[in-house]
Chain A
Amino acid sequence: TQLLEQSPQFLSIQEGENLTVYCNSSSVFSSLQWYRQEPGEGPVLLVTVVTGGEVKKLKRLTFQFGDARKDSSLHITAAQPGDTGLYLCAGEVNDMRFGAGTRLTVKP
């Protein structure tokens, strides 16, 4: 079983739609990160959240850390084809552990 469960596993939407992906765990994390990975490349850090209830915005992306620091969500407004990729969450316990990711496809 994964320490971090990400849902949905796959998501295909049209350009301009909004979407939310989730990262859940039964463990408490001192910090949680979101990465995006494109085919053939390594993951690239998008954001780190540290405080329970914290909300961070990065242009059209909104990240939220749950109050209990066990879960997080990523909301994308008006998705664009350039948002296509694998979105990974990673939680720090003693080390960084990754979820299996949400594979997002945004169709033009």
Chain B
Amino acid sequence: NAGVMQNPRHLVRRRGQEARLRCSPMKGHSHVYWYRQLPEEGLKFMVYLQKENIIDESGMPKERFSAEFPKEGPSILRIQQVVRGDSAAYFCASSPRSLGRGIYGYTFGSGTRLTVV
């Protein structure tokens, strides 16, 4: 997990505030994926990004959620006007390529645990 850096590890926000979650992929990886995990559940796909491009955002709510992966800097998952239901662990993963990436596997970060109070 040390290769993918996520911060902060824990984030507390009041309802209506904005949450920004950051992810720096493993060195040499240009593909970033965000997943959400609720307690006692598996990982739900949210969005897949390459540098400056959103490839697949089919798992992301249409409102309040957005993601970017700029040319320079980390990938950002942004949640506007947070509600209690947004409380979850958000994981970022990276891979070195898209085609056949299942063969290489994903490297996950340690996650950001968002609590909305």
Contacts and interface: CB of A to CB of B under 8 A. Distances in A.
Contact of B56 (A2, A42, A95): A95
B113 to A, nearest CB: 8
B85 interface: no
Interface in A1-30: 2, 6, 29-30
Contact of A88 (B33, B43, B107, B109): B43
Contacts of A29: 102
A33 B102 contact: yes
Task: State the main secondary structure of chain B at its contact with A.
Answer: mixed
Given A42-B91, A88-B42, A101-B42, A96 B107 contact: no
Given A88-B43, A95-B45, A95-B56, A42 B102 contact: no
Nearest to A89: B42
B111 interface: yes
B108 A96 contact: no
A106 interface: no
A61 interface: no
Contacts of A101: 41-42
Given A95-B56, A98-B42, A99-B42, A45 B107 contact: yes
Contacts of B103: 31, 48, 50
List the 7 shortest-distance A-B pairs measured between CB atoms, nearest first.
A92-B102, A42-B108, A31-B102, A100-B42, A45-B105, A98-B43, A101-B42
Given A6-B42, A40-B111, A50-B102, 9 more contacts: A2-B42, A42-B1, A42-B109, A48-B102, A48-B105, A90-B43, A92-B102, A98-B44, A100-B42
Interface of A: 2, 6, 29-33, 35, 40-45, 48, 50, 88, 90-92, 94-101, 103
